[in-house]
C-alpha cells in the first residue's frame, strides 16, 4: 500500500463555483466546477471528454456575480496555471475527472 504525502503549502477552502477552462491544445473552453481553492492553486471537476494532461498550461475563468462585477469592473477573475495532477477516480461513477492546477 502506498502512502500519500501532503504537498500543499497553503490551506485550501472548499468552494463549489462554475469555472471555464481554456485548453490551448484543444483551442476551446470547457466548463467545470471548482471543488477547493487556495492562494496557490485550485482543484476542478471536468467532463471526462476534456483532452487534458499533466503539464498543460491552462487559463481559468471564474465568473463573478453582477454586484461583484460592478464593484471590480470585470465579469470574471482570470488566472493561468499548470495542470499538476489528474484524478480519474470518478470517471465511472460521475463521468468526470478532477484536475489540480497550480497558479502561475
Q: Residue 2: what pLDDT? A: 54
Q: Which pTM does this prediction carry?
A: 0.83
> 66-97, pLDDT tens digit by residue?
887 788 777 778 899 999 999 999 889 999 99
CB-based contact 3:28 (threshold 8 Å): no
What is the C-alpha to C-alpha distance for residues 13 and 38, in angstroms, rounded to an integer?
6
Looking at residue 3, what DSSP letter applies? P
Which CATH code is given to the segment(s) 14-80+95-103?
2.40.10.220
Return the C-alpha cell found at 65. 456575480
> Does the pLDDT value for residue 1 go beyond 60?
no
- What is the average per-residue pLDDT within 49-57? 96
DSSP bridge pairs for 82: 57, 102
Amino acid at each position: 500500500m502506498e502512502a500519500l504525502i501532503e504537498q500543499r503549502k497553503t490551506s485550501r477552502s472548499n468552494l463549489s463555483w462554475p469555472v471555464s477552462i481554456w485548453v490551448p491544445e484543444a483551442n476551446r473552453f470547457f466548463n467545470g466546477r471548482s471543488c477547493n481553492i487556495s492562494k496557490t492553486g485550485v482543484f476542478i471537476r471536468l467532463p471526462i471528454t476534456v483532452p487534458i494532461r499533466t503539464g498543460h498550461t491552462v487559463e481559468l475563468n471564474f465568473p463573478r456575480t453582477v454586484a461583484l462585477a460592478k464593484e471590480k469592473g470585470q465579469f470574471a477573475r482570470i488566472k493561468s496555471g499548470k495542470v499538476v495532477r489528474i484524478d480519474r477516480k470518478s470517471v465511472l461513477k460521475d463521468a468526470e475527472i478532477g484536475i489540480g492546477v497550480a497558479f502561475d
